[in-house]
């Protein structure tokens, strides 16, 4: 994949002598907030050559949902007829019309055709142009920005415009408003990526109390075990064609499982699995670290693997360990490993969210290093409000494309009910989150309609495995709500409308407290037990 991407196609060099025409421009992108700690120090020299990239819009994205439902709905005649990676790439590649429109505009503006390069996936047109040329093309002003503390410099513009007839063909232009200089270790704390950092607080909830009872089917309201889950959901089945199946579990470094923890758990609850390990795929220089050891470093990975392995054995589990110890990773990074072209199209990964590889620590960029597993499970999330619409949409479409290829992606829906991490809600502009705000704070990627969002239920205190479960309200509050970015997909219309009718009509909430238009994506999609799991960890069964 990487090889194909690196090979740039030279555009057919038919030189058309077109007179330069003035065109009506309209604002295309502008910076939301000036970056703090950076000052605008001077204009960029007009002769300075900039490596410009024009990202072209993908075709057929408006058909993605319909195509996905066609191959995913059991009653559809095309059920299970998944697309190949090449078919997906072809379907969504920018159209010839877009390539031509942008090419013609650049040529007619005085950039000769032999200076343009189209990338092999047709996603980008590259051109080296002087700052003067670009400022004229984009009606922008390029400045050098200097970092106050370190003196580091980067260039960019505050906003840029495109001719009206070109705007629909261009997703974004770089370098422009995207402020993405990386300052190394210190910058890390400011970006959201590094999902695995214990401070992010997305591990299992902290009540890491030691086990004081002998767990049994009678105590499932206090402690969930593999046997409790099997009994609750009548799981009485041994997978037979495990070599044809693949099941991936994503973990973000420095979160890591400890082999001894798996064995401790299996000795107690699944003896035949003692010594069995997941198959580790190390993405972007990942390590399954074993130097930082505590519930905060190992709890999530231990939990995910002990139950994934325990419930699906003898299915081999693939551990998709993502991110190195230096910068960690965001959600785009594990997707890059499954789909090489995703590394670069639509602007590539987002330095404010993802790890950018290769990096100074010597970690490679893992683009397309593994075929997508049939099912991928991820127990991490972020507040949707911390993702830009561009970032969330680009990533969400990728989950849809994986679905077309037959991969189901399963995300947990969160632990804080309608609030976000740390139990905070949004202000009315969705810019700030504090405990005194009241606007609901949905979670991403579970708010993306192309993943399966999984909420949590509980065996209510005093109830047995034969009683109905309740929504999870002890230890954690199952996450759910309505997206502020994504529309309601057709497949959930009936379910969401029935929910709105039964529980939100009339609405007990203030207008605007969440997207109550009835048009927004609702989540979770399904729910299963999510409280009081026993985990084998650090010589104790927690």
Select from 123-131, 191-199, 295-303, 523-531 the region that touches ligand NAG (CB under 6 A): 123-131
Is residue 227 a contact partner of residue 354, using CB atoms and an 8 Å limit? no
What are the C-alpha distances in Å from 79 to residues 71, 92, 245, 398, 443?
4, 21, 18, 20, 30
Helix 389-404 and helix 331-338, axial crossing angle in degrees, nearest 10? 30
Q: Could you give the string, one character per residue 475-514, with x where binding to ligand NAG holds by CB under 6 A and - elsewhere?
A: -----------xx---------------------------
Nearer to ligand NAG, 140 or 459 (CB): 140
| Nearer Cβ to ligand NAG (41/186) | 41
For the record, the structure tokens of 309 come out as 């392995």
Give the residue from 523, 426, 448 showing the smallest Cα distance to 478: 523
Residues in 233-272 that interact with ligand NAG by CB under 6 A: 259
**30 belongs to the binding site for ligand NAG (CB under 6 A):** yes
Residues 34-63 that bind ligand NAG (CB under 6 A): 51
In the complex, what is the shortest distance from the CB of residue 483 to ligand NAG, in angstroms, rounded to a whole number?
Answer: 7
The region that residue 422 occupies, defined by phi over 0 for left and psi between -120 and 50 for alpha, beta otherwise, is left
- Residue with Cβ nearer ligand NAG (44 or 127): 127
Using the 8-state DSSP alphabet, how is residue 439 labeled?
Answer: B
Phi-psi region of 279 (alpha: psi -120 to 50; beta: other; left: phi over 0): beta
Q: How many residues does the chain have?
A: 542
Q: What is the pairing mode between strands 170-174 and 49-56?
A: antiparallel
CA distance 328 to 387: 17
Q: Which residue number, 115 or 230, has a Cβ lying nearer to ligand NAG?
A: 115
Closer CB to ligand NAG, 129 or 378, in the complex:
129
Peptide bond into 148 cis (omega under 30): no
292 forms part of the interface with ligand NAG (CB under 6 A): no
Indicate which single residue of 126, 188, 205, 293 sits in contact with ligand NAG (rule: CB under 6 A).
Answer: 126
Binding residue (CB under 6 A) for ligand NAG from 23, 60, 84, 290: 290
Q: How many residues bind ligand NAG (CB under 6 A)?
A: 18
x/- mask, ligand NAG, residues 172-211, rule CB under 6 A, reads ----------------------------------------
**Residue 146 buriedness (CB in 10 A; 0-12 / 13-18 / 19+):** middle
Q: Which residues contact 328 (CB under 8 A, 6 or more apart)?
A: 188, 193, 194, 195, 196, 197, 252, 253, 254, 355
In the complex with ligand NAG, the residue whose CB is nearer, 117 or 188, is: 117
Which lies closer to ligand NAG via its Cβ, residue 230 or residue 430?
Answer: 430
Residues within window 10-29 making contact with ligand NAG, judged by CB under 6 A:
27
The pair of structure tokens assigned to 88 is 């997906």
- By C-beta, is 30 or 165 nearer to ligand NAG? 30
Residue whose tokens read 């070109």: 166
What distance lies between CA 166 and its chain's CA centroid?
29
Residue 520 binds to ligand NAG (criterion: CB under 6 A) = yes
Of 83 and 265, which CB lies nearer to ligand NAG in the complex structure? Answer: 265
* Exposure on the CB side of residue 363, measured as CA atoms within 13 A: 24
Binding-residue pattern over the window 158 to 177 for ligand NAG, x denoting contact by CB under 6 A: xx------------------
Q: How far is the CB of 128 from ligand NAG (least distance, A)?
A: 4
Q: In this structure, are strands 117-119 and 8-10 parallel, antiparallel, or unpaired?
A: antiparallel
Of 124-132, 144-152, 302-310, 323-331, which part binds ligand NAG (CB under 6 A)? 124-132
Min dist CB 505 to ligand NAG, Å, is 17
Per-residue three-class SS string for 335-383: HHHHCHHHHCHHHCCCCCCCCCCCCCCCCCCCCCCCCCCCEEEECCCEE
C-alpha angle 116/159/112, rounded to 5°?
A: 15
CB of 236 to ligand NAG, least distance (A): 35
Are residues 181 and 147 in contact, defined by beta-carbon separation less than 8 angstroms? Answer: yes
Contact (CB, 8 A) for 484 and 420: no
For the bound state, the minimum distance from the C-beta of residue 409 to ligand NAG, rounded and expressed in Å, comes to 20
Q: Considering beta carbons, is residue 128 or 493 the nearer one to ligand NAG?
A: 128
Nearer to ligand NAG, 91 or 130 (CB): 130
Could you tell me the smallest distance in angstroms from the CB atom of residue 378 to ligand NAG?
23
Between 125 and 531, CB nearer to ligand NAG: 125
Using CB under 6 A as the criterion, which residues of the chain lie in contact with ligand NAG when the complex forms? 27, 30, 51, 117, 126-128, 141, 158-159, 259, 290, 486-487, 515, 517, 519-520
């Amino acid at each position: 994949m990487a090889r194909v991407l690196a090979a740039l196609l030279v555009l057919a060099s038919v030189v058309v002598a077109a007179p330069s025409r003035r065109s009506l421009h309209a604002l295309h992108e502008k910076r939301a907030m000036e970056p703090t700690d950076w000052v605008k120090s001077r204009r960029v020299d007009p002769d300075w050559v900039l490596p410009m990239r024009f990202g072209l819009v993908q075709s057929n994205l408006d058909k993605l949902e319909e195509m996905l439902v066609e191959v995913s709905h059991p009653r559809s005649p095309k059920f299970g007829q998944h697309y190949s990676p090449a078919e997906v790439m072809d379907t969504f590649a920018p159209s010839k019309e877009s390539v031509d429109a942008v090419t013609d505009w650049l040529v007619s503006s005085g950039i000769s055709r032999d200076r343009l390069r189209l990338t092999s996936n047709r996603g980008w047109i590259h051109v080296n142009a002087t700052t003067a040329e670009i400022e004229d093309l984009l009606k922008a002003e390029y400045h050098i920005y200097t970092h106050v503390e370190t003196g580091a410099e980067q260039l960019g513009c505050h906003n840029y415009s495109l001719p009206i007839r070109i705007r629909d063909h261009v997703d974004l232009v770089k370098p422009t408003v995207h402020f993405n200089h990386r300052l190394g270790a210190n910058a890390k704390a400011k970006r959201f990526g590094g999902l695995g950092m214990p401070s992010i607080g997305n591990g299992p909830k902290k009540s890491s109390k030691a086990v004081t009872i002998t767990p049994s089917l009678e105590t499932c309201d206090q402690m969930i075990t593999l046997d409790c889950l099997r009994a609750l959901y009548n799981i009485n089945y041994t997978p037979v064609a495990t070599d044809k199946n693949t099941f991936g579990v994503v973990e973000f470094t420095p979160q890591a499982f400890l082999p001894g923890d798996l064995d401790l758990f299996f000795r107690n609850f699944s003896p035949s699995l003692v010594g069995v390990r997941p198959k580790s795929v190390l993405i972007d220089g990942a390590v399954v670290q074993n130097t930082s050891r505590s519930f905060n470093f190992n709890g999530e990975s231990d939990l995910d693997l002990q139950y994934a392995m325990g419930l699906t054995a003898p299915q081999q589990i693939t551990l998709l360990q993502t991110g190195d110890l230096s910068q960690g990773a965001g959600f785009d990074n594990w997707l890059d490993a499954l789909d090489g072209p995703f590394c670069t199209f639509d602007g590539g990964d987002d330095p404010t969210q993802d790890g950018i590889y290769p990096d100074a620590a010597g970690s490679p960029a893992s683009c397309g290093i593994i075929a997508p597993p049939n099912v991928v499970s991820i127990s991490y999330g972020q507040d949707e409000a911390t993702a830009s619409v561009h970032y969330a949409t680009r990533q969400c479409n990728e989950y849809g494309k994986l679905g077309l290829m037959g991969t189901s992606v399963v995300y947990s829906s969160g632990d804080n009910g309608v609030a976000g991490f740390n139990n905070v809600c949004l202000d009315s502009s969705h810019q700030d989150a504090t405990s005194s705000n009241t606007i609901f704070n949905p979670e991403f990627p579970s708010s993306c309609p192309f993943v399966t969002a999984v909420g949590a239920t509980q065996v209510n205190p005093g109830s047995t495995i034969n009683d109905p479960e309740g929504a999870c309200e002890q230890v954690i509050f199952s996450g759910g709500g309505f997206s502020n970015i994504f529309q309601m997909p057709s497949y959930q219309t009936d379910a969401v409308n029935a929910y709105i009718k039964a529980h939100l009509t009339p609405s007990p909430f203030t207008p605007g407290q969440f997207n109550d238009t009835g048009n927004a994506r609702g989540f979770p999609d399904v729910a299963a037990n999510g409280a009081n799991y026993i985990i084998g960890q650090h010589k104790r069964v927690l």
